[in-house]
């Protein structure tokens, strides 16, 4: 299996939506008042889709991404990833599930500054128990995919913003995930670099069938996705299928 051959979760069929979100509610305790971030959100994402979640600040976009990816737990409703109900998984299993099946891209890159680019990329493999040699080979392959193999031994501080985000993408790909969750992936980049990053993600989606769920403010990013889901006040208010 090559790097970009994503794994299929056991028991899953091609027609099953890879992400099924049903009536999810999430409330935060804001001290003096409760903040209802998600008020009953339902969403389904098919394998190989590239979905943009858009909306004004505070509408619940990132909360939805966190709940859907298992980074956060929901108060009510269910989240199924490839048929697996996240609420039924222990923290340990959910963590392992993330390590093996998901990739993450954040606006602020979240690379470990004390590790080199290739070490950052191989990190998810190492913690999953992959042998160091294989992890290094796959990390270099992932960097190759984002055209940064030659900068593998540089520290994040020695890379530009766009290069850092490419490393982040490489890290999100290295474990051959089924889904890549991206929270404002172009938020910290200039328009040219942002365009390059989006082109890269489009390519990965199109050529390798990777499922992308992208939270963004940027209409330009939304415009390059298959579908745009719009949110307001913790609810999905509109969906627009682009192509």
Partner 1 sequence: MKELFGLPMTTLAIVLAGLLGLALLSVAFIGLSNRTMFNFGLRNIARRGLQSVLVVVGLALGTLITTAAFVTGDTVDHSLTRDAYRLFGRQDLEISWTGEPQYFSDSGVAERGEQVFVNEAVVADLEEAFAGDPEIVAFQPMLRMTAPVTNLRTADAKPAILLAGVDGERLDRAGGLTLSSGEHVSVGDLREGQVYLSERAARELHAMTGDGLTIHLGDRVANVRVAGIVRDELASGVLGMSFSSAPGGLVLPIDMLRGLAGLEHGEISALTVSLDGGVRTTIDSAGPAAARIRAYLEGAGAGVFASKGGLPAEQPVEVLTVKKDLVEQAEFNGNLFTTLFLVLGMFSMAAGVMLIFMIFVMLAAERRSEMGMARAVGAQRGHLVQSFVAEGMAYSLLAGLIGVVLGIAASYGLTQVLLKQVGGDYFSLIEMKITAPSVVVGYSLGVVITFITVVFASLKASHVNIVAAIRQLPDGRRPPQRRRTRWKWVFAGVPALVVPPLGAWWLLRKGLGLAWAWILGPLGIVLGVLFIALGKSSEVLFPFALGVSLIPLSAAAIARHLNTPARPLWTTVGLVLGAYWLLPGNLHDRLFGEFQADIEMFVLSGIMIVVAFTLVIIYNARLLTSLFRGGEGAAAYAVTGGLVLAAGSAVGIAAALGDRADGMGELFYLVAGLLIPTAALAAVAARFPALTPALKMAVAYPLSNQFRTGMTIAMFSLIVFSLTVFSVLLANFDTAFLGGDARGNLDLVVTTNPESAVRDVPGALAEAGSPVAAQIAGSGRTTAGGGPILVAQAAPNASRGYYPLIGADRAFFSDLGTTLDAWAEGYSDEAAVWSAVMEDPELALVDGSVVGLSFNEAYEWSAKGVTVTDDRFAPFSLELTTPSGITKTVTVVGALRAQLPGRTWGGIYVNEAAYRELRGEPLYQRTYLRLEEGSDAGEAARLIESALAVKGVEAEPVQGILDDMKAANTAFNRMFQSFMALGLVVGIAGLGVIAFRSVVERRQQIGMLRAIGYQRGTVTLTFLLESSFIAVMGILSGVVGGVILGWSLLTSDSFTGGADIAFAMPWPEILVVIGASFAFSLAMTWWPSRGAARVPVAEALRYE
Q: Return the residue of 47, 61, 171, 230 that touches partner 1, per CB under 8 A.
A: 171
Q: Among residue numbers 52 through 81, which ones bind partner 1 (CB under 8 A)?
A: 62-63, 66-67, 69, 71-72
Minimum CB separation from partner 1 for residue 95, in Å?
5
The structure tokens 């992936």 sit at 185
Cα end-to-end span (Å), the chain: 30
Q: Tell me the two tokens of residue 156.
A: 């994040």
Of 124, 185, 222, 234, the one binding partner 1 by CB under 8 A: 124
b/e code 111-150 from CB counts within 10 Å (16+ = b): beeeebbbbbbbbbbeeeebeeeebbebbbbbbebbebbe
CA distance 24 to 29: 17
| Among positions 17, 47, 50, 119, the unique one binding partner 1 when judged by CB under 8 A | 119
Contact region with partner 1 (CB under 8 A), list: 79-87, 92-100, 140-148, 202-210: 92-100
List contacts with partner 1 (CB under 8 A). Answer: 62-63, 66-67, 69, 71-72, 91-92, 95-96, 98-100, 103-104, 106, 108, 110, 112-115, 119, 123-124, 126-129, 131-133, 136, 171, 175, 183
């Amino acid at each position: 299996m090559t790097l970009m051959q994503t794994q299929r979760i056991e028991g899953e069929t091609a027609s099953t939506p890879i992400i099924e979100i049903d009536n999810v509610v999430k409330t935060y305790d804001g001290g003096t008042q409760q903040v209802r971030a998600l008020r009953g959100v339902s969403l389904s994402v098919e394998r190989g889709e590239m979905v943009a979640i858009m909306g004004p600040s505070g509408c619940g976009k990132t909360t939805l991404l966190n709940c859907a990816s298992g980074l956060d737990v929901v108060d009510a409703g269910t989240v199924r990833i490839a048929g697996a109900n996240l609420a039924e998984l222990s923290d340990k299993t959910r963590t392992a599930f993330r390590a093996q099946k998901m990739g993450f891209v954040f606006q602020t890159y979240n690379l470990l500054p004390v590790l080199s680019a290739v070490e950052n990329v191989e990190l998810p493999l190492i913690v999953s128990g992959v042998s160091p040699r294989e992890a290094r080979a796959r990390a270099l392959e992932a960097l190759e995919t984002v055209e940064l193999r030659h900068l593998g031994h540089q520290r994040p501080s020695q890379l530009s913003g766009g290069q850092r985000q490419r490393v982040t993408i490489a890290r999100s790909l290295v474990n051959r995930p089924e889904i890549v969750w991206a929270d404002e992936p172009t938020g910290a980049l200039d328009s040219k670099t942002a365009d390059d990053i989006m082109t890269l993600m489009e390519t990965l989606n199109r050529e390798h069938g990777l499922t992308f769920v992208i939270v963004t403010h940027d209409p330009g990013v939304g415009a390059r996705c298959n579908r745009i889901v719009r949110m307001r006040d913790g609810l999905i208010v509109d969906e627009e299928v682009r192509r």
